[in-house]
């Protein structure tokens, strides 16, 4: 017989109704933080009750975090173990197997897949786990074992880096939990081959969330010239070249990312039409403007300029500046794609900042399409933060 779970309780003014309706988080000022609660180890499993002692579910608790509790299961009697983890992962796997014919996708998207704070990206026979919550870090062995059982992968990497782990009070670390890697992993998407560095690249190695937006941009690029700014490993540029773009330039501040992009271009058979330019994106765009360069399609996919509410105002100014500089590089009648992965900037705010920037660049635009993350990045309807990615596709006049 297992020991009973500790109990944590909401304060009287906390919104228990939102939790009952599916909101997955409890903030520190909503929970009674008595001596027993403060003594719980980060990642501990507990039973959550409302202020009247009515059960709300099974949660994981981290007394060191402002996000003090996350709902794991609506059943207050749930047993959070290997079997439970494997069942959630199998549900996630079933969805991806229906969506994709090749084994390259986000397999687990945190709260939206019922595994709070857990991100897993699959690269064929390899997978990367990001345990961004204390409970996931504590149960990394169960997560890895379930991943091997459910997905059949032989190589498993733990990527314990990033801002989210810092907010949880977790250390930064990178390790291989199973198998071995001897270099970047080739990934086939949208007719191109990308090279993903699972140990030293950004995030887990690739940005699967942009797959559908890469494909839409590729439709606009056939026969034209492309500028891919903040390119990482060539996400947009390689897809457009595979679709028949005449030439593409990838701009990034990371030499290693551009090297991977060039290797991907060679593997895709488009190396002769591909070039790279290393440097600060803003400075490179200003330089290209001075050189009189124009492109039929310009894409800007920057890092999160507004990762939190305190950074929102500065972030929106940065997005406006990106839009202004990029718009001036688009040929008459050409296309501009502007992306944001900022949680704090919602779609309307990002669209308005982009429109202001285009106007300041003395261009008039039509908004053709608004893209979001692909279906392997499902949204939890009650959690706005799960719908972070926005991609705006414009056509600019002369």
Q: Which residues are catalytic?
A: 341
Contact predicate 202/232, CB 8 Å: yes
Contact predicate 86/146, CB 8 Å: yes
Contact predicate 141/82, CB 8 Å: no
DSSP string, 209-259: GGHHHHHHHHHHHTTSEEEEET-TTTHHHHHHHHTT-SEEEEEES-HHHHH
Taking the C-alpha atoms of residue 252 and residue 87, their distance in angstroms, rounded to an integer, is 40
Contact predicate 25/66, CB 8 Å: no
DSSP string, 85-121: HHHHHHHHHHHHHHH-SSSEEEEEEGGGGT-TTEEEE
Find, among 86, 88, 106, 84, the residue nearest to 146 by Cα: 86
Taking the C-alpha atoms of residue 302 and residue 313, their distance in angstroms, rounded to an integer, is 16
Contact predicate 293/325, CB 8 Å: no
The two tokens of residue 210 are 């942009």
Residue with tokens 């930064």: 172
Contact predicate 159/181, CB 8 Å: no
Contact predicate 182/361, CB 8 Å: no
Phi, psi angles (nearest 5°) of residue 148: -65, -40
Q: Which residues pair with 252 in a beta bridge?
A: 278
Taking the C-alpha atoms of residue 174 and residue 160, their distance in angstroms, rounded to an integer, is 6
3-class SS of residue 52: coil
Q: What is the DSSP letter of 273?
A: G
Taking the C-alpha atoms of residue 86 and residue 147, their distance in angstroms, rounded to an integer, is 7
């Amino acid at each position: 017989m297992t020991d009973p779970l500790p109990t944590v309780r909401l304060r009287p003014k906390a919104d228990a109704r939102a939790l009952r309706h599916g909101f997955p988080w409890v903030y520190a000022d909503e929970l009674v933080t008595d001596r027993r609660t403060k003594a719980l180890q980060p990642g501990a499993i507990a039973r959550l009750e409302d202020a009247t002692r009515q059960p709300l579910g099974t949660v994981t608790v981290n007394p060191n975090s402002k996000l003090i509790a996350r709902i794991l299961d609506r059943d207050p009697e749930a047993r959070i173990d290997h079997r439970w983890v494997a069942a959630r992962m199998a549900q996630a796997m079933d969805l991806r197997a229906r969506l994709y014919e090749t084994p390259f996708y986000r397999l687990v998207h945190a709260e939206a897949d019922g595994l709070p704070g857990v991100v897993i990206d699959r690269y064929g026979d390899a997978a990367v786990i990001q345990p961004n919550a204390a409970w996931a870090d504590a149960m990394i062995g169960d997560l890895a074992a379930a991943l091997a059982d459910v997905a059949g992968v032989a190589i498993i990497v733990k990527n314990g880096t990033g801002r989210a782990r810092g907010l949880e009070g977790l250390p930064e670390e990178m390790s291989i939990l199973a198998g071995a890697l001897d270099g970047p992993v080739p990934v086939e998407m949208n007719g191109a081959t990308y090279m993903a560095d699972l140990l030293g690249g950004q995030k887990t190695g690739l940005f699967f969330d942009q797959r559908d937006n890469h494909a839409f941009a590729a439709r606009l690029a056939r026969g034209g010239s492309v500028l891919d700014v903040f390119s990482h490993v060539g996400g947009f540029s390689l897809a457009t070249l595979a679709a028949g773009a005449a030439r593409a330039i990838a701009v990034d501040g990371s030499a290693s990312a551009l090297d991977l992009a060039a290797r991907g271009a060679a593997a895709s058979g488009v190396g002769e039409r591909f070039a790279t330019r290393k440097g600060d994106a803003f400075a490179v765009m200003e330089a290209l403007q001075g050189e009189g360069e124009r492109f039929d399609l310009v894409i800007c996919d920057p890092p999160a300029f507004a990762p939190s509410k305190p950074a929102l105002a500065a972030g929106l100014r940065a997005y406006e500046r990106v839009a202004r500089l990029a718009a001036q590089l688009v040929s008459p009648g050409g296309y501009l794609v502007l992306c944001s992965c900022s949680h704090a900037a919602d779609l309307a705010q990002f669209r308005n900042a982009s429109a202001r920037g285009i106007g300041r660049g003395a261009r008039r635009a039509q908004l053709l399409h608004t893209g979001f993350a692909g279906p392997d990045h499902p949204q939890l309807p009650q959690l706005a933060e799960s719908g972070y990615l926005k991609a705006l596709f414009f056509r600019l006049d002369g």
